Amino acid sequence: MKLPVVDSTTVDSTAENGLSGESDARQHLLDLSTEELKAWIADHGLPAFRAGQILNWVFQRRITDFHEMSDLPKKLRDELDAAFRIFVTAEQEVVESSDGTDKLLVRLPDGGEVECVLLRDGNRRSICVSSQVGCAMGCVFCASGLDGVERNLTKGEILEQMLRLQARLEEDERLSHIVMMGMGEPLANLDRVLAALSVAKDQHGLGISPRRITISTVGLPKAIDRLAETGVPYNLAVSLHAPNEELRSELVPVNKQVGMQSVLDAADRYFASNGRRLTFEYVLLGGVNDSVEHARELQQLLRHRNVLLNVIPYNPVEGLPYQTPSSRSIARFREVLEAGGVNVKFRQRKGSDIDAACGQLRRNRSK
């Protein structure tokens, strides 16, 4: 079902955001660690606490022009402006859905494009952020990976999506959750994703508890172990999409190299390491993975695990042969799992009137 397009607006704001900065040699401030910023400030003969003030302006007060940072000495503001840019991307397209979902198509300095989304649900203000331009995982139903991966995003480019979405909130709205569920495979760009998230969770950064941050992965066991080793209790969501090896290898090609059991084992180790309940994602594709038999197999796989199964009815991608399942088969699928004691949630499709499923906005524009 498509949501009615009531107040969707498309704003091509390239001009006002100015892409003149493409030849700009200044460094991306958001790529620096706090230590690097402090060192730069020390080199300029000033005390380290100035770094905290700058971060406070950018992350809490949403200021992106050094000249507006009124508690910094004028000379420092000028020097910062000469050395750094705070935003390096441009909002190529802004789409607002009638259900409170905002989606941005962000253009990177090298011309690449990624999507990110703000979702409003009750008091929740969640943002969905991309980690790569394109994706190498090749999930057969997903728009993001149709042309493969171009490159990893930098730490600063990941943070900038968060800041751009935060900037869309009203005074009385607060960012509450972050999901790394945009374009790309976050665990294939783990170092930069972790660097960005460490700022997102920092009190001087966005101040979002890691318990409200979810990293979604196709399931790369070694990287899941590395994530566990950080000791930070991020939520892990594993995109399962099939209840057996054969079907999973068909839908999620990387499974052929990895194997479903080793994905499940790594997820179990992650749970053992920090006790955070795992989420498994299951995109329900009509006539492909939505039968009663599939539901039974899935129930067998999950019933002894402390997991939330997040079932997402397929959001159709033009040109791909997959379909949203009928409401009858969705209900049947649900019944089997619920009767089998699996903790299951059926995700509401949000923002489908604005192509909010990852990769679709970019794709539809480039056609």
Q: Can 358 be counted among the known catalytic residues? A: yes
Nearest CB to ligand SAH, comparing residues 180 and 336: 180
* Closest distance of CB 163 from ligand SAH, Å: 21
Nearest CB to ligand SAH, comparing residues 137 and 223: 137
* Closest distance of CB 169 from ligand SAH, Å: 23
The closest alpha carbon to 117, from 365, 364, 363, 350, belongs to: 350
* Closest distance of CB 107 from ligand SAH, Å: 20
* Closest distance of CB 267 from ligand SAH, Å: 12
* Closest distance of CB 287 from ligand SAH, Å: 15
Marked catalytic residue, from 96, 115, 157, 160: 115
Nearest CB to ligand SAH, comparing residues 91 and 185: 185
Token code pair at residue 187:
């665990």
Are the CB atoms for 240 and 248 separated by under 8 Å? yes
Marked catalytic residue, from 128, 135, 139, 358: 358
Nearest CB to ligand SAH, comparing residues 72 and 113: 113
Q: Can 160 be counted among the known catalytic residues? A: no
Cα torsion through 261, 262, 267, 272, rounded to 10: 100
Contacts of 207 (CB under 8 A, 6+ apart): 59, 60, 201
Amino acid at 293: E
Residues of this chain that bind ligand SAH (CB under 6 A): 137, 139, 141-142, 181, 185, 216-218, 239, 281, 283, 312, 314-315, 317, 357-358
Nearest CB to ligand SAH, comparing residues 96 and 185: 185
List, by residue number, the catalytic residues.
Answer: 115, 358
